[in-house]
DNA sequence: TTGAAAGCGCTAACAC
DNA sequence: GTGTTAGCGCTTTCAA
């Protein structure tokens, strides 16, 4: 068996509780015994058993996370690793670890969460996306379990600490950027409408058009899970409309790359024939041709603030509900240009 | 306080141990009490405390993982998420969870591992890369703690279960592919030489050239951590040699994209002026222009097999040491062509 | 400032 | 088949 607190206590000639106090760096312990105990720990190569500690102290110093299931589109693009990196960084700073599981279905995912929460494996949870009707959120809310959502909750906004971009404004600005370049025929290429982020951005797009007195056209709005094949068709259809768009807003750089390829096949050049603004500003966006004008939403920070704030909440149970808005920024590159008058 | 096994026992009029047996689905328990207990669990909304279980049973059903630290290049490309996805999938199938931490330095990383291992937070570990001198490996080996390495160990190959590609052959074949297309001046663009994978591939490259009776040139071999700026210079230098290469092998698609851009700037076209074979075959490789001929190394499977085999090892302590080679495959696209005779 | 002792919630060996 | 009981290794009152 491994070396325990008792072994250390024996060697240092103190009680186990004293050792425990030394570990916790309790103030009311003499320097002398502190040294004595530390020495014994060193000599024995002692390391606390964290399960025992968690059991006794009802805290785990770990944050729970549910990964998007394999096969989820999310995985093919850098959002997930980057946000994870941010989460991990924030956790690491406060000496928290991460505990993750996957769920293939919504049911499995919920089960995974229940297991973590009721199984006392984690002190808090970070949720990576908010569905329109989210059982996980209801569950956590009901149990009053600390969690932070990355993204905007569909409901109960006032009760949920969340970190998000101002996706409405971000998309509005992206659209306005195109409008200011003279574009009136601007199409929206977005993802799954069940995701709140898509809804928000769509609204921002619509607002920008409306503000500019531009008529909304249903056929200019596309929702595709796509990477590869899926979207190709949609883009082709879009471009063969009677009045094809002269500009596109695309909700993700990776999608934009797919769009770029389809346009290339169609012999349409960017930005000469059509302008594009996309989102996320991942490394990719500056490496493709043409480099993409893209809205940087600070993915890393989204994750970093999520774990940072979750930990605050864990450690101080009457921390107020917060809404943290991570700033975005339009990074101009070469995929947009002024609409030439015809 | 949460509902415990005792509450269930009381309600079902049985002993706590009986409840425990029902949970473990012990064979020697009557259907009647099984039902009775299950009913009580349902009624109370019981969920086992996993810390208590781990403490008592000395097992956690979780796998440890150390993430590449933020800032690590690894994060900017899809290798990490994909391998994580594979690991997660394999773990999920056997109802294992993942526990992860980050380390910024080698020292921190080792500490993180020690904490997981001695802290009894995990039953086994997956290592994502093998350094030439790897303290983590020595540590785990010394403690005889179950672990699986993704990649090839630098030493102690016979004692370490690892899952890897045959990187030597993969690179040899990639190089031969170019040689068969008439190329003799083939440069190698690789990553950090401290990583065993780089060494292996370099050897495969050299073997292919040697087999074909082609002289090795030092100036044809580049090692760059690069993405962006770093590599640009290197590629420019390479192309301004007296005898610039007519083909490149690049160890990563993402790097290849960087190379592609630099070449474009130099007015060199692919594949007309220079051919490229890269590695990993991530989605990106078919989306860039020109689509990259790339060696698919089955990243997902690397992760999947790693957790699969780690779990076997955890559950059966005299499982033999294994070496699992994941097949690779050259996917031909448009970044290579026959060398025109001059 | 330190020690003794009672749990945290579970499993498992042993008894019946 | 089921109950009793002794831990797993730690934290945390309560006393001294």
Find chain A residues with C-beta within 8 A of B143's C-beta: none
Is there a single domain that holds both residue A267 and residue A215?
yes
Contact A60 B51 (CB under 8 A): yes
- What pLDDT does B342 receive? 46
Domain of B141 in residue numbering reads as 62-165+299-328
Helices (H), B67-195: 79-93, 106-118, 135-143, 167-180
- What pLDDT does B321 receive? 97
Q: Rounded to 5 degrees, what angle do the CA atoms B104, B110, B113 make?
A: 110
D strand bases under 7 Å from protein CB: 1-5, 7-13
Contacts of A127 (CB under 8 A, 6+ apart): A66, A134, A136, A137, A147, A148, A149, A150, A151
Asked if the structure places residue B337 within a domain, the reply is: no
Contact between A90 and A301 under an 8 Å Cβ cutoff? The reply is no
Q: Is the pLDDT of residue B145 over 70?
A: yes
Asked if the structure places residue B239 within a domain, the reply is: yes
Asked if the structure places residue A7 within a domain, the reply is: no
CB pairs A-B closer than 8 Å: 138
Is there a single domain that holds both residue A292 and residue A310?
no
Contact between A96 and A88 under an 8 Å Cβ cutoff? The reply is no
Is there a single domain that holds both residue B180 and residue B277?
yes
Between CA A41 and C1' D7 the distance (Å) reads 23
Buried b / exposed e over B316-325, threshold 16 CB at 10 Å, is eeeeeeeebe
Is there a single domain that holds both residue A186 and residue A292?
yes
> What are the tens digits of pLDDT across the range B169-207?
999 999 999 999 999 999 999 888 888 888 999 999 999
- Residue A1 CB lies within 7 Å of the nucleic strand C: no
Asked if the structure places residue A255 within a domain, the reply is: yes
Contact A81 B75 (CB under 8 A): yes
The secondary structure of B281-293 as a DSSP string is --HHHHHSSSPPE
C strand bases under 7 Å from protein CB: 1-5, 7-13
Is there a single domain that holds both residue B231 and residue B314?
no
CATH number of the domain bearing residue B290: 3.40.50.2300
The pLDDT confidence band at residue B67, using thresholds 50, 70 and 90, is confident
Asked if the structure places residue A311 within a domain, the reply is: yes
Is there a single domain that holds both residue A177 and residue A293?
yes
Is there a single domain that holds both residue B155 and residue B174?
no
Contact A88 B82 (CB under 8 A): no
- What pLDDT does A229 receive? 61
Contacts of B262 (CB under 8 A, 6+ apart): B231, B232, B235, B236
Identify which of A312, B184, A128, A168 has the alpha carbon closest to the alpha carbon of residue A137.
A128
Asked if the structure places residue B11 within a domain, the reply is: no
Is there a single domain that holds both residue B148 and residue B214?
no
> What are the tens digits of pLDDT across the range A294-323?
999 999 999 999 999 999 999 998 999 999
Is there a single domain that holds both residue B250 and residue B102?
no
- Number of structural domains found in chain A: 2
Residue B320, token pair as written in the block: 């033999």
Q: Rounded to 5 degrees, what angle do the CA atoms B115, B121, B122 make?
A: 105
Asked if the structure places residue B196 within a domain, the reply is: yes
Cα separation, A269 vs B68, in Å, equals 39
Instruction: Measure CA to C1' and name the residue nearest D5.
Output: B17
Is there a single domain that holds both residue B172 and residue B159?
no
Find chain B residues with C-beta within 8 A of A81's C-beta: 75, 78, 80-81
Is there a single domain that holds both residue B89 and residue B156?
yes
Residue B21, nucleotide of least CA–C1' distance: C11
- What pLDDT does B48 receive? 96
Distance from the A41 Cα atom to the nearest Cα atom in chain B, whole angstroms: 13
Indicate left, alpha or beta for A102 from its phi (over 0: left) and psi (-120 to 50: alpha): beta
Contacts of B212 (CB under 8 A, 6+ apart): B176, B179, B184
Cross-strand partners of A150:
A163
Average pLDDT in chain B: 92
Residue B8, nucleotide of least CA–C1' distance: C9
Is there a single domain that holds both residue A291 and residue A212?
yes
Q: Phi first, then psi: what are they for A264, rounded to 5°?
A: -60, -45
Task: Report the footprint of strand D: residues with C-beta closer than 7 angstroms.
Answer: A 1-2, 4-6, 16-17, 20-21, 23-24, 46, 48-49, 52-53, 55-57; B 13-18, 21, 26, 28-30, 32-34, 52, 55-56
Q: Phi first, then psi: what are they for A143, rounded to 5°?
A: -80, -5
Top-confidence range, A16-20, A189-193, B131-135, B287-291: A16-20
> What are the tens digits of pLDDT across the range A183-235?
999 999 988 888 888 899 999 999 999 999 999 999 999 987 655 566 778 89
Cα separation, B258 vs B234, in Å, equals 11
Contact B70 A55 (CB under 8 A): no
> What are the tens digits of pLDDT across the range B252-279?
898 898 899 899 989 999 999 999 999 9
Between CA A28 and C1' C8 the distance (Å) reads 24
- Residue A33 CB lies within 7 Å of the nucleic strand C: yes
Contact between A254 and A193 under an 8 Å Cβ cutoff? The reply is no
- Least confident piece of the model among A33-37, A183-187, A338-342, B18-22: A338-342
**Among candidate residues A257, A275, A297, the one where a domain is terminated:** A297
The pairing of strands B293-296 and B329-331 is: antiparallel
Asked if the structure places residue B68 within a domain, the reply is: yes
């Amino acid at each position: 068996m491994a070396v325990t607190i008792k072994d250390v206590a024996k060697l240092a000639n103190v009680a186990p509780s004293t050792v425990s106090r030394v570990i916790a760096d309790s103030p009311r312990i003499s320097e002398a015994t502190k040294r004595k105990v530390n020495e014994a720990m060193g000599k024995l190569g002692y390391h606390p058993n964290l399960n025992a500690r968690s059991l006794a102290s009802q805290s785990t110093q770990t944050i729970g996370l549910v990964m998007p299931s394999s096969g989820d589109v999310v995985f093919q693009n850098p959002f997930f690793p980057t946000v994870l990196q941010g989460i991990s960084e924030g956790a690491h700073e406060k000496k928290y670890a991460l505990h993750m599981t996957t769920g293939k279905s919504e049911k499995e995912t919920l089960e995974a969460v229940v297991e973590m929460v009721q199984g006392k494996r984690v002190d808090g949870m970070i949720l990576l996306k908010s569905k329109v009707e989210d059982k996980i959120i209801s569950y956590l809310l009901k149990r009053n379990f600390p969690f932070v959502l990355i993204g905007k909750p569909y409901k109960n906004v006032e009760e949920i600490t969340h970190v998000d971009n101002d996706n409405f404004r971000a998309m509005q600005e992206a659209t306005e950027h195109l409008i200011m370049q003279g574009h009136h025929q601007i199409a929206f290429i977005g993802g799954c409408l069940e995701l709140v982020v898509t809804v928000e951005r769509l609204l921002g797009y619509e607002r920008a058009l409306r503000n500019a007195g531009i008529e909304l056209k249903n056929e200019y709005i596309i929702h595709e899970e796509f990477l590869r094949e899926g979207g190709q068709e949609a883009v082709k259809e879009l471009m063969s409309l009677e009045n094809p768009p002269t500009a596109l807003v695309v909700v993700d750089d990776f999608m934009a790359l797919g769009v770029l390829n389809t346009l290339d096949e169609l012999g349409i050049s960017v930005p000469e024939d059509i302008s594009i603004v996309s989102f996320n500003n991942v490394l990719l966006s500056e490496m493709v041709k043409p480099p993409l004008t893209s809205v940087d939403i600070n993915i890393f920070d989204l994750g970093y603030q999520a774990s940072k704030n979750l930990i605050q909440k864990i450690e101080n149970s009457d921390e107020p509900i917060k809404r943290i808005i991570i700033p975005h920024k339009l990074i101009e590159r070469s995929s947009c240009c002024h609409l030439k008058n015809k």
